[in-house]
Structure 1
Amino acid sequence: MFRRLRGIPLLGCLLGSIGCHSQPPAPPPIQKGDYGAIIRYLQTRIPQEMARDNVAGLSIALVNGQELIWARGFGLADKDLGVPVTPNTAFRAGGISKLLTATAALQLVEQQHLALDAPIQQTLREFYVRSRFHSDQAEADRAITLRRLLSHQSGLPSEHLRDLRSTYAMGQMPMRVSGVWLSSLPGSQVAYSNLGYALVGAAIERSSGKSFEAQLQSSLLTPLRMNQSSFLGTGAQMSYRAHGYEDGKASTDPQVRDLAAGGLWTSPKDLSRYVRMLFAKGTYKGRQILGSASIDAMFTQQNTGNALDFDCQMGLGWFLAPCGDEPIGPGVRTYQHSGGGDDFVAQLTLLPDQQLAVVIMANDSNAEDMVVSLTTDSLRLMLQVQTGKPVCADDCQAPSHGLKLRHVPAAVDRKRLAGFYATAWGVFRIRDEHARLSGELAGYDFQLLRDEQGWLRAQKKILGFWRKDLGDLGRVQLDVLTVQGRQMLTARSHGQRIAIGERIEPPPLSAAWANTVGTYQVLSSHEPDAPLSGISVRQEDGFLVIRGQLHGEPLTDYILLPIDNAHAVLAGNGYGLGDTVSRQVNGLSASGYSFKRTHSPHTPLNL
């Protein structure tokens, strides 16, 4: 809810100033079994790309079966003190934390302290939900299971923003968020939820009788000899940790409340031990850490039959498909998870059939694109070493068609596509005007053209000349499909179809919701690093549009869709969408915050 305009998948190059980075240097000839050639190539390539993107530090680990092929640090963990990154330097893992949390939960399932398909309320008895999808509220509570929490199918909101940087105990979380409104029907779609994993962490504490950190250390981190790893809210207690950087400047070390979702500090070298345990069906150094049946369950698709997920396959914690990202190679199964935030970037990708893995972590917000491309290219080279044959020729590349063959969609096509689309990254406006089809997202505008194969592409004209494609958005196929009675804006990228947004029609607005137009500030919040300081509501083309504010900085626009006189939701489905906004006597409430009106509907607004 209310995200910053940064780090948008499929749109990263679009929001850049010129486009994607130049291609990396071509690797040298790679012979079968010659991992040394890969290492020499990466030792040259990585510093060059770090200098190009002004990345402070990076660490990498390559794994083949039970062997750690290579682990190496580059750059600086602390620029002020000149501390270099070593293989033992710890980085914030972000979302990769969830893999360890899911593993710890499955350990407790094996011990019969938790059950995958039992309501989580059996363990967290004070936790309940409210639902607009169920007539029986008890049925809604029963629908929130550990399996659905681990596979992001619980229907819970993606975040609970209030007190996001607080230090209160994890065990308080179920009571603090009790009564939260579901954002989607449980079991119907994958919608990434940090809140869901915070509840998993509370369930681990409750069922084990230990603090989350103590349980993870005793059951997982210590047995795996992950000596530089811990779930801590900050890195202040760690002498071997990296500092985060944004645009060359050191960032703060903010407290992480939802430790189970994103609180892990670790290194690629440590994570390689976790990967080797998975490859060995749950054993490490002769000790059984997790049963093979649990690992099979972790890597079994959990969202089969969810039409709105299209080609994105979800396991227990793991993404089992690229979900629109560039594949490693044709027919190569790929399991992965990434991590980001607080100016750290991480990627863990493994190939289960070949037992190959790459782990890369960086302490700079500029490193996102570099980490992704390094991971993909490193795995392709490792496959080549294993098989003796190049993995990709033209079959790994996205289709590329000439600009001259593109044309303005026909009038009937423009009419079909024009509208407002609710996406996880804000309102995507597609307009049919002046005999052309234009798009706008996050303040960036472009023209939408069809190519000779019927693909809808984004382009921009500058000084009368067509610019090259607008990054990934210019290379994917966009179209609108009707799924379960909903008009879904989809993108086809690298042969995979994923959901981008949902077309929303202007709803009838009651006087009560029409009168919510205005600006609001957070009421009684003293958080040091609050993610939200206010919101504004305005009318646009028959819609209510809500926008977050953070210390005067505008965040993303969302469509506010009234459900009744007291409640509205952020229209659409997916990360941050479907969340409930409620009317109160003196303002609005959302994500745990209460907002007090600061300007009335009759006061001119500077938006």
Structure 2
Amino acid sequence: MNPQRIFLGLCAFAWTLHAAADERITRIENGLREPVAVRGAPARTMRLVDRMRDLHVPGVSIAVIDHGRIVWTRAYGVADVETGRPVTPATLFQAASISKPVAAVATVKSRIDLDADVNTRLRGWRVPENAFTAHQPVTVRALLSHTAGVSDGGLAGYPATASCPTLRQELEKAAITSEPGSRYAYSSLGYGVLQQVLVDTTGRPFDALARDTVFAPLGMRDSLFASTLPAALAPRAAKGHALDGTPIAGGWHCYPEEAAAGLWTTAADLARFAIALQDRKHAFLSKQQLEMLLTPVRGDYGLGFELGHAGREPAFHHSGSNAGYKAQLWAYTRTGQGAVILTNGDNGAKLIAELMGAIAAEYGWEDWRPIERAAVPGNTALFDRYTGSYAVSNVVLRVERRGDVLTLAGPPLGPEPVELIPAGDADFFVREKDATLHFDTEADGNVNTLTFVDGRPRPGRRIEPAVSR
């Protein structure tokens, strides 16, 4: 056969594949899905560029996995709104809590005893012992699975413009608040304890340990653990941005608990990480190690990985939320499919959910599909009694009337008010989030309290009336 014809045929085939991939990307870019759909109503889709603008998310980096390989990467927007520097596939983002599964794999690769009392490994600082540890000590396995009972108030981090504490200083906040192994309680500070155990056990800095056990073997050349980014890499990094789109002071926050929140990386590097766990023939992890990582310990959490989801195909995943950054890693164990999305805006989680809906629809995933809820005609005669501002947890939700429509505004929903869809006289839902709202009507017809269900019921109380429009 003519070699030239073979070459031309291969070129034509490659061009066809490239064109098909571009068509899929275009459909995703123009097909963002709302998390909730009104049953019987036409599906509503949105454009990525519009949603980035509306949600004040300056930059996005995406890597999509199909058939066990990275089929495309794309970068959108800017890394810094002040300079207009564009995001590229090589731009570094804070991956926030996606640090945890990477730290878990580094732990397993280090071959340390997962079931020994960590106080036999720690040097200097030790886990405070109390009645909860009298019968069951804290172990590495418990730290990895969030069952160690370590106290946690979340990690706010420290502005890069301020002094950053050491990990040892942060660990002084740690206390054991339940018997180790007895229940699941998410604890980022617990991963700070894990980091100290690894350092004291191996005698190596945590970032070097992760580099040698995970990053180098997987070709993750753009990944590192650091409490704050080295100055030499700052020009490559996306700066974090607040809910209103303004830059975080200093560009990002410092996190001494690197194993919990200190991963800097790219979407493509995290996709390589996911593929290594999908491929059972990959020499990176043994079958036993994979099963250990991806088997639930309590609830739907394994060792460093979230495992619960709606679809039938087994999946592993983790989200991330640092000041100014939101991230998502999602991968199916058997099908070789998945995606990584990194953003540099505090409204990024909402954008990620909409993007994942578009990716899922394009690639036929069972997860990330819109939840369908039934709507009923609104009883507009009752709307005025619902309007007002309500204190819910640590935020304020505002209910306003605009003609025959009620709207809801507040930090969980994005920068703009969203429509409340009636599901009953006093019950409503929104398209933008898997959340519902119930107004409590008193005997005299007044409404002073409500219940906002967003993962769990959150009671709210009226604090001031709002102006109806």
TM-score for the superposition, normalised by structure 1: 0.56
- Alignment partner of 1:364 out of 314, 331, 345: 345
Aligned-residue RMSD, C-alpha: 3.8
Q: Who is 2:120 aligned against?
A: 122
Contact 1:282 1:295 in 2 (8 A): no
Cα distance in 2 between the residues matched to 1:65 and 1:150: 29
Contact 2:436 2:452 in 1 (8 A): no
> Cα–Cα, structure 1 residues 129 and 70, in superposed 2: closer, same or farther, change >3 Å?
same
For residues 201-231 of structure 1, what are the alpha-carbon distances to aligned partners after superposition, in whole Å with 9 as ceiling and x for unaligned? 1111122221011111111111211111111
Q: Who is 1:41 aligned against?
A: 27
For residues 272-309 of structure 1, what are the alpha-carbon distances to aligned partners after superposition, in whole Å with 9 as ceiling and x for unaligned? 110111111373xxxx33222111111111115xxxxx
Q: How does 1:101-140 map to 2 (within 5 A)?
A: 101-108=103-110, 111=111, 114-124=112-122, 126-131=125-130, 134=132, 137-139=133-135
Q: Who is 1:256 aligned against?
A: 255
Percent of paired sites with the same residue: 25
Match of 1:249, SS?
A: coil
Q: How does 1:126-165 map to 2 (within 5 A)?
A: 126-131=125-130, 134=132, 137-139=133-135, 142-159=136-153
Contact 2:155 2:188 in 1 (8 A): no
For residues 527-554 of structure 1, what are the alpha-carbon distances to aligned partners after superposition, in whole Å with 9 as ceiling and x for unaligned? xxxxxxxxxxxxx9xxxxxxxxxxxxxx
- One-letter code of the match for 2:109? Q
Cα distance in 2 between the residues matched to 1:162 and 1:492: 24
- One-letter code of the match for 1:249? T
- One-letter code of the match for 1:270? D
Q: Who is 1:425 aligned against?
A: none
Contact 1:164 1:258 in 2 (8 A): no
> Cα–Cα, structure 1 residues 332 and 380, in superposed 2: closer, same or farther, change >3 Å?
farther
- One-letter code of the match for 1:92? Q
For residues 416-439 of structure 1, what are the alpha-carbon distances to aligned partners after superposition, in whole Å with 9 as ceiling and x for unaligned? xxxxxxxxxxxxxxxxxx9xxx98
Cα distance in 2 between the residues matched to 1:60 and 1:106: 28
> Cα–Cα, structure 1 residues 210 and 477, in superposed 2: closer, same or farther, change >3 Å?
farther
Cα distance in 1 between the residues matched to 2:395 and 2:89: 41
Cα distance in 1 between the residues matched to 2:351 and 2:238: 18
- One-letter code of the match for 1:50? M
Shift of 1:257: 1.0
- Alignment partner of 2:237 out of 241, 244, 251: 241
- One-letter code of the match for 2:66? N
Cα distance in 2 between the residues matched to 1:392 and 1:95: 21
Shift of 1:340: 1.3
Contact 1:156 1:193 in 2 (8 A): yes
Cα distance in 2 between the residues matched to 1:275 and 1:263: 18
Shift of 1:148: 1.4
Shift of 1:444: 4.4
Match of 1:129, SS?
A: coil
Q: Who is 2:294 aligned against?
A: 299
- One-letter code of the match for 1:365? D
- One-letter code of the match for 1:274? F
Structure 2 unpaired stretches of 5+: 1-16, 31-46, 407-419, 421-427, 440-450, 462-469
Q: How does 1:467-482 map to 2 (within 5 A)?
A: 467=406, 468=420, 469=428, 471=430, 472=433, 474-475=435-436
Contact 2:89 2:267 in 1 (8 A): yes
Contact 1:35 1:382 in 2 (8 A): no
Q: Who is 2:301 aligned against?
A: 314
1:231 lines up with 2:228 in the alignment = no
Cα distance in 1 between the residues matched to 2:228 and 2:155: 18
Q: How does 1:404-553 map to 2 (within 5 A)?
A: 404=378, 441=392, 442=394, 444=396, 462=401, 467=406, 468=420, 469=428, 471=430, 472=433, 474-475=435-436, 499-500=456-457
TM-score for the superposition, normalised by structure 2: 0.71
- One-letter code of the match for 1:297? M
Q: Who is 2:77 aligned against?
A: 75
Shift of 1:462: 3.6
Match of 2:306, SS?
A: coil
Cα distance in 2 between the residues matched to 1:106 and 1:277: 14
Shift of 1:186: 2.7
> Cα–Cα, structure 1 residues 65 and 144, in superposed 2: closer, same or farther, change >3 Å?
farther
Relative contact order, CA 8 A, sep 6+: which one is greater? 2
1:214 lines up with 2:208 in the alignment = yes
> Cα–Cα, structure 1 residues 402 and 289, in superposed 2: closer, same or farther, change >3 Å?
same
Match of 2:232, SS?
A: coil
- One-letter code of the match for 2:375? H
Give the number of the structure whose residues are more often helix, by fraction. 2
For residues 245-265 of structure 1, what are the alpha-carbon distances to aligned partners after superposition, in whole Å with 9 as ceiling and x for unaligned? 222322123222111100010
Cα distance in 2 between the residues matched to 1:83 and 1:162: 26
Match of 1:153, SS?
A: coil
Q: How does 1:383-398 map to 2 (within 5 A)?
A: 383=364, 396-398=370-372
Q: Who is 1:578 aligned against?
A: none
Cα distance in 2 between the residues matched to 1:264 and 1:162: 15
Cα distance in 2 between the residues matched to 1:83 and 1:163: 25
Q: Who is 2:359 aligned against?
A: 378
Cα distance in 1 between the residues matched to 2:270 and 2:158: 26
Contact 2:305 2:318 in 1 (8 A): yes
- One-letter code of the match for 1:398? E
Cα distance in 1 between the residues matched to 2:367 and 2:269: 30
- One-letter code of the match for 1:37? E
Shift of 1:464: 9.1
Matched length: 383
Match of 2:102, SS?
A: helix
Match of 2:268, SS?
A: helix
Match of 2:192, SS?
A: helix
Contact 1:345 1:368 in 2 (8 A): yes
